[in-house]
């Protein structure tokens, strides 16, 4: 018994000495250990201060009454909007908190009236208007008050109910969704507008019901293609990335093999296959795999944007029905291809709760996603994904003439230039 007590006393004495030693050197140990945590908190704080001093405006995009143009024009628009990208130096990033203010593409339906918006920093207004007018000269772009201010400050409440979710991609970002090129009739060659179903559905909302779709975008850095995109193509082709081993990895490899030598019989290396006998890539891939590889390579060469996508549907409790949520999910599935990619609700943001404290947890999630929409909050950043200009052009573009939804706001008259022979009055 005495031996046990002495052992415990020695143990506590050793622990006490360890804590005493830690108290002497904590300022040398903790900063390196928590460096990345501190850096994230610091950047979030400084960027919050920077964005707080940035003036934002909301522009309504009113499409022409007669648009007979492919969404391909929007590729050029988004490529031009990538001009907001800027490379900041270390001081600007970590001391001043500077970063590229994102754009927000929004489609809003209030009581069935459908509107297209783009929210941008005021300094980018000329860039936005120039790129849209270059491709859609008959479009009207009007600065309007922020429509979210017309909604209640907090939802849900006694009068309003809400459903919402962030959206993510089903596969790796480089796999493209089904773009407008797939929405073309084989016989006539006529394109079916990918947004037709969404606008018709949002136009069916009855009075007292509202649905908002939001995509917060920012141009990706140029090295994304090399660091992330190419690795997706290599993984599809089965190529393994060679990792240069360091000294620690070499030591661990020696220890693993020593242990293996004592516990198992020796193995002799197998004869290497002759690379010349391996079939060429075009003969090893199935027709479907060839199409996927072609889509990956095509997407790899396009300008990419980082995207945060979310949808909220809310309205008076008397007319609120999740049927419209199901209709939206059906519409969003038209962009999905099982061989390629598609959108799906993100589980942690979806306003659904089961088992314990269901009411409290559900209300918290509802108010959280509503607040994030209203403030155009991109968090959590880990749930962002990448879309190319072709993919963005598919899900956000001026609807063509075939979309006859009466609730869609359009330009009332076609704009034209003044006659060349107009007399000029002189003073």
- Which pLDDT tens digit goes with each residue over 137-155? 888 999 999 999 999 999 9
- The radius of gyration computed from the CA coordinates of the chain, to the nearest angstrom, equals 28
Average pLDDT on 340-369 reads: 89
Q: What is the pTM of this model?
A: 0.81
Find all residues with CB under 8 Å of 314, minimum gap 6, and list them. Answer: 151, 155, 156, 160, 161, 162, 163, 164, 209, 210, 320, 370
Between 146 and 93, whose confidence is greater? 146
- 91 class by beta-carbon count within 10 Å (0-12 exposed, 13-18 middle, 19+ buried): exposed
Question: Where residue 276 falls among pLDDT bands split at 50, 70, 90?
Answer: very low
- Assess whether pLDDT exceeds 80 at residue 124: yes
Reported as a pLDDT band with limits 50, 70 and 90, residue 60 is very high
The CATH class for the domain spanning 57-79+99-228+288-395 reads alpha beta
58 confidence band (pLDDT: 50, 70, 90): very high
- Average pLDDT on 265-273 reads 57
> For residue 284, what pLDDT band results from cuts at 50, 70 and 90?
confident
Could you state, in order of their start, the residue ranges of all structural domains in the chain?
57-79+99-228+288-395
Tell me the percentage of the chain whose pLDDT exceeds 70. 78
pLDDT band for position 353 (50/70/90)?
A: confident
- Structure token pair of residue 321: 């029905």
CB 351 within 8 A of CB 163: yes
Instruction: Lowest mean pLDDT of 19-33, 165-179, 283-297, 313-327, name the range.
Output: 19-33
Cα separation, 200 vs 182, whole angstroms: 20
User: Residue 381: its pLDDT value, please?
Assistant: 81
> Which residues are registered as beta bridge partners of 115?
108
């Amino acid at each position: 018994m005495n031996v046990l007590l002495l052992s415990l006393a020695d143990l506590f004495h050793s622990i006490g000495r360890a804590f005493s030693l830690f108290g002497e050197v904590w300022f040398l140990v903790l900063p390196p250990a928590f460096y990345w945590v501190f850096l994230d908190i610091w950047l979030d704080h400084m960027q919050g201060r920077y964005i707080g001093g940035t003036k934002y405006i909301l522009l309504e995009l009113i499409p022409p009454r007669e648009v007979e143009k492919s969404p391909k024009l929007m590729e050029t628009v988004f490529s031009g909007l990538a001009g907001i990208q800027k490379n900041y130096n270390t001081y600007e990033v970590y001391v001043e908190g500077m970063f590229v203010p994102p754009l927000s593409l929004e489609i809003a339906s209030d009581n069935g009236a459908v509107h297209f918006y783009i929210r941008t920093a005021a300094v980018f207004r000329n860039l936005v208007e120039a790129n849209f007018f270059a491709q859609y000269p008959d479009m009207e772009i009007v600065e309007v008050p922020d429509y979210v201010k017309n909604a209640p400050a907090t939802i849900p409440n006694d009068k309003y109910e809400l459903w919402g979710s962030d959206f993510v991609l089903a596969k790796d970002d480089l796999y493209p969704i089904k773009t407008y090129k797939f929405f073309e009739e084989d016989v006539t060659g006529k394109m079916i507008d990918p947004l037709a179903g969404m606008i018709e559905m949002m136009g069916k909302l009855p009075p007292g019901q509202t649905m908002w779709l939001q995509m917060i975008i920012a141009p990706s850095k140029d090295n994304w293609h090399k660091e992330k995109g190419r690795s997706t193509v290599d993984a599809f082709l089965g190529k393994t990335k060679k990792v240069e081993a360091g000294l620690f990895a070499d030591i661990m490899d020696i220890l693993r093999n020593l242990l293996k030598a004592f516990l198992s019989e020796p193995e002799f290396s197998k004869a290497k296959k002759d690379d010349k006998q391996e079939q060429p890539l075009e003969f090893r891939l199935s027709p479907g795999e060839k199409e996927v590889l072609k889509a990956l390579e095509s997407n790899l060469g396009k300008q990419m944007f980082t995207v945060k996508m979310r949808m909220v549907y809310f309205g008076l409790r008397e007319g609120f029905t999740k049927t419209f949520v199901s209709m939206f999910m059906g519409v969003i599935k038209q962009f999905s291809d099982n061989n390629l990619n598609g959108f799906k609700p993100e589980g942690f943001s979806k306003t659904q709760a089961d088992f314990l404290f269901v009411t409290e947890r559900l209300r918290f999630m509802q108010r959280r996603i509503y607040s994030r929409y209203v403030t155009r909050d991109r968090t959590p950043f880990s749930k962002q994904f990448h879309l190319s200009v072709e993919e963005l052009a598919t899900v956000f573009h001026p609807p063509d003439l075939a979309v006859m939804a009466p609730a869609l706001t359009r330009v009332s008259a076609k704009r034209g230039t003044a006659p060349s022979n107009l007399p000029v009055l002189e003073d």
